[in-house]
Each structure stands twice: as structure tokens, then as C-alpha cells.
């Protein structure tokens, strides 16, 4: 059970009261202070968990080089929208035909200077292309090689195709969520498996392997299964079942809707509030604020929960959402607004923390995007330059790997690199 935060919330309108000081933004990281400066990552992904991992590593200061196929040889690769994955800010790109002998050799020259290789092919594909862990380790024994896949590199489901929803399904996440109107599990509003069970899982594993390498000098192979990452997210429910035989699901416990003090409620204007008043003191504060003191002794009384919910619902419907938030959020009640995406980008708390930044694209112009928000990430000092998707750094990267300009130009003429 998570301990409730004691942070005083900002008013949801985003306006500061008169006389209130400008909120202090977090200190910006200097270029020499970013955590992963000097770490080079070769990334084969275009979308999904590995792309999320690459984004995390780049925002922590790693030099991430996207490795893709030349135009016309990209096959079924998905090309994300210009704004997806933060527009690949701070990343470089090289395009190489890995099915060509010279292209594969050029990649292995690049791999000699890499700290991390990140791939998301189906199990066995990287090996068939001649760029698997064995081949890369042969030229760079210190490499941390991370393979991300839905179910892992081994086992009866290893070659199954899947996406975020599938991994949340097999990992128990969907069965413990909901239900929706027709009684089935809901479709999550965020790609939790890609972002956390896959992307963060891979990033954590890579960072641990880099720390191990700093201590031992040895590289490592990492087999990241997104489905197993979902198991990690579901650890509280899984461990409870294994230890006690309980069958977790919607309404099973405090965190899945059993009690009225951990639920969502509509306000008068049709907008919603989230209530997470788990601790008795916070619950008592909420009941007093709503004029429902009689329910204070019945917080965990299962028989009273529907009556408490009905009274909470009736109370919240007497005022608009933001009026309730302005009163309750600063009063230790664990109440927050249920924001739409269009609302949250104007939230005062996020603005004070510098959660959004400006980007500039050569064709699309200026637009806002989510800033690097995880603790310790480098923050941009000004607008972030987002490059057009076809721009590459192939020439410079291959020259730095030791290939001659004549050889590079010859491969470009034959479409091996671009």
C-alpha cells in the first residue's frame, strides 16, 4: 500500500493567487553533469518498449544512435509520427542495410565503440542477420546487449506476436482492472506494458549492467520480457495469491475499489474527482469536509460501503470539480482532479516543475512536448531542435568508426547506407 503524499496541491485552474511568488523550477542539469554522458547506445527500435527505453537513456544523457534501414529497404518498419517519442530529441541516426555483407560489417565497426546495443526483433532474427549478441560480443566484449520482446527469448510463447494489451492480459493487469460497462476488462488509457513493463524494465536492466561492467569490466546479455515486466508490476496481487490463495480482482482490496475512500466521483459539472483517503486521518478530514462525520468510524466496514459511496456521490454533486479541488486538495484529504490530457498540460503544479518544453521541427515549426521529467534527467535550457525524420548522421558516424570516405560513398551509391 502506497503512503499518501503530504504535498500541498496547486489549484487546478493554473492561476496563482495575488502576491504568490513565482514557483521555483528545478535546477537544470549542466552538460557535464548528465548521468549517462559518454555512454553510446545503438538502437534498432522504431516503436514500442525498446523505443521507450532509448528515450529514457537519451534523456539521461546517453548518445543514442537510431539504426534503421535505407529508404526502400525498410520493409514493415513502422515510422512514428514526428512528435512521437519526443521527436527523437538529442538522438542521431544511421541508415544501414543489414542484409548486405558490407552493411553488416559497417554496423559491427560501429558496435566496436558502443556501450549498449538495444534491439526488439523477434527472437532469433538478430542472430540470422549476423548482428546478435555473439557477433557483437566478438568485436566488443564489454558491450551490454539488450533484447526486448513480448514474452522473452525462450519458452513456448517466445515467438508469439503481441502488443501492449496482450502483455497486460497475460500478466493479470486487465483481470484486476475494471470492469467496463459490458462486464469485460477495460482498455487501459496508457500503454503501461510498453512504457513501464518494457521500456523502464529495459532501462533499469541496462543501467544495472553498466554498473556491473564498471565493477567487473564484463559486458552482459539482457533478455527483457515485457510480459514478465507486467508480472513485476502485479507483484502485490501475485504474491498475495501465492501466499494465501486469495483471488485478486476488481473490488478485492483497498487499491482495487473495495472501499468508498478509494474511488472516483462525479462533480456537479460532470467532471470527476479521485479520492485516495487511505489513512484514517485523511479519511476523517474528508468526511468532516463533506459534512459526513457519521461515517468516520466505518471506514473499513464492508457492510457500510455502498451507503458511504452514495453519500460521497451526493455530496460531490453539489459543487463543480475545481471548486472541490481548491478546498479539499490542500486540506490533507487525498483528493485530486481527474484531468483530461488537454487539461493536465495547463496544470499549475506541472508548470512549476517545468514538465513541458518547446520543440522546433524544420517543417512542422514550433510545438510543445513533454520535457524529460524523471528525476536526474537533463532538462533543456531552451527550445529543443527536432530533426526531420530522413536526416541522418551516417557519414560522420561511419568515418568515426574507421571507414574511409570513398568506401562510404560507394556504399551510398549502391544503397547499402543512407
DSSP assignment of 67-94: EEPPTT--TT-----TTGGGGGTTEEEE
d(CA 130, CA 111): 12
Average pLDDT over residues 63-92: 85
- pLDDT at position 110 is 97
Q: Note if 302 is an active site residue.
A: no
Find how far residue 269's CA is from the centre of its chain: 32
Does residue 226 contact residue 234 with C-beta atoms inside 8 Å?
Answer: no
Q: What pLDDT does residue 116 have?
A: 98
**Residue 324 pLDDT:** 98
Q: How many residues does the chain have?
A: 418
Lowest mean pLDDT among 33-37, 208-212, 398-402: 33-37
Shared domain for 197 and 76, answered yes or no, is yes
Catalytic-residue membership of 83: no
- Containing structural domain, residue 259: 1-31+252-387
Do 27 and 40 reside in the same domain of the chain?
A: no
Tell me: do 197 and 61 sit in the same domain.
yes
Percent residues over pLDDT 70 in the chain: 91
Residues 95 and 174 in one domain: yes
- Give the per-residue pLDDT at 34: 85
Q: How confident is the model at residue 211 (pLDDT cuts 50, 70, 90)?
A: very high
Query: Which of these is catalytic: 43, 97, 164, 194?
Result: 194
Averaged pLDDT, 21-45: 70
At residue 15, the pLDDT reads 36
Catalytic hit among 163, 239, 269, 410 = 163
406 in any annotated domain: yes
> Is residue 76 very low, low, confident or very high in pLDDT (cuts 50, 70, 90)?
low
> pLDDT-derived band of residue 74, with 50, 70 and 90 as boundaries?
low
Overall number of domains in the chain: 2
pLDDT value of residue 334: 98
Residue 336 has pLDDT above 90, yes or no: yes
Could you report the per-residue pLDDT of 252-277, keeping only the tens digit for each?
A: 999 999 999 999 999 999 999 999 99
The answer to whether residues 161 and 284 belong to one domain is no
Mean pLDDT value across residues 36-47: 96
| Rounded average pLDDT over 282-310 | 98
From the number of C-beta atoms within 10 Å of its C-beta (0-12, 13-18, 19+), residue 322 rates as middle
Quick check: is 219 in a domain?
yes
Using the predicted structure, report yes or no on whether residue 5 has a pLDDT greater than 70: no
176-205 residue pLDDT tens: 998 887 888 999 999 999 999 999 999 999
Residue 348 lies in a domain: yes
Residues 321, 223 within the same domain: no
The stretch 88-106 carries a mean pLDDT of 95
Question: pTM (2 decimals)?
Answer: 0.88
Amino acid at each position: 500500500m502506497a503512503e499518501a503524499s503530504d504535498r500541498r496541491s496547486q489549484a487546478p485552474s493554473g492561476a496563482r493567487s495575488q502576491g504568490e511568488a513565482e514557483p521555483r523550477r528545478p535546477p537544470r542539469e549542466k552538460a557535464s553533469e548528465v548521468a549517462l554522458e559518454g555512454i553510446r547506445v545503438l538502437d534498432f527500435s522504431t516503436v514500442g518498449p525498446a523505443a521507450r527505453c532509448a528515450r529514457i537513456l537519451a534523456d539521461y544523457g546517453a548518445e543514442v544512435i537510431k539504426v534503421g534501414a535505407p529508404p526502400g529497404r525498410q520493409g514493415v518498419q513502422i515510422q512514428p509520427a514526428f512528435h512521437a517519442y519526443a521527436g527523437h530529441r538529442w538522438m542521431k541516426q544511421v541508415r544501414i542495410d543489414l542484409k548486405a555483407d558490407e552493411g553488416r560489417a559497417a554496423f559491427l565497426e560501429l558496435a566496436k565503440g558502443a556501450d549498449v546495443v538495444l534491439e526488439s526483433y523477434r527472437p532469433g532474427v538478430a542472430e540470422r542477420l549476423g548482428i546478435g549478441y555473439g557477433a557483437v560480443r566478438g568485436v566488443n566484449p564489454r558491450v551490454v546487449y539488450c533484447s526486448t520482446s513480448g514474452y522473452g527469448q525462450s519458452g513456448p510463447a517466445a515467438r508469439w506476436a503481441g502488443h501492449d494489451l496482450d502483455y497486460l492480459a497475460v500478466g493479470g493487469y486487465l483481470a484486476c482492472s475494471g470492469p467496463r460497462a459490458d462486464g469485460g476488462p477495460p482498455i487501459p488509457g496508457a500503454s503501461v506494458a510498453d512504457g513501464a513493463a518494457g521500456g523502464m524494465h529495459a532501462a533499469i536492466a541496462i543501467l544495472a549492467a553498466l554498473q556491473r561492467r564498471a565493477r567487473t569490466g564484463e559486458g552482459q546479455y539482457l533478455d527483457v520480457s515485457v510480459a514478465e515486466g507486467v508480472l513485476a508490476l502485479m507483484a502485490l496481487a501475485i504474491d498475495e495469491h501465492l501466499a494465501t490463495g486469495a483471488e485478486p480482482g476488481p473490488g478485492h482490496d483497498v487499491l482495487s475499489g473495495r472501499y468508498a475512500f478509494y474511488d472516483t466521483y462525479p462533480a456537479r459539472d460532470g467532471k470527476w474527482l479521485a479520492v485516495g483517503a487511505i489513512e484514517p486521518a485523511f479519511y476523517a478530514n474528508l468526511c468532516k469536509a463533506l459534512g459526513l462525520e457519521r461515517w468516520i468510524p466505518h471506514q473499513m466496514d464492508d457492510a457500510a460501503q455502498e451507503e458511504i459511496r452514495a453519500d460521497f456521490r451526493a455530496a460531490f454533486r453539489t459543487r463543480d470539480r475545481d471548486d472541490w479541488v481548491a478546498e479539499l486538495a490542500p486540506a490533507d484529504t487525498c483528493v485530486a482532479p481527474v484531468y483530461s490530457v488537454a487539461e493536465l498540460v495547463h496544470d499549475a503544479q506541472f508548470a512549476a516543475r517545468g514538465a513541458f518544453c518547446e520543440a522546433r521541427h524544420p517543417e512542422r515549426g514550433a510545438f510543445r512536448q513533454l520535457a524529460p521529467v524523471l528525476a536526474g534527467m537533463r532538462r533543456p535550457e531552451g527550445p529543443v531542435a527536432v530533426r526531420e525524420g530522413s536526416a541522418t548522421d551516417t557519414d560522420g558516424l561511419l568515418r568515426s568508426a574507421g571507414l574511409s570516405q570513398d568506401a562510404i560513398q560507394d556504399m551510398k551509391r549502391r544503397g547499402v547506407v543512407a
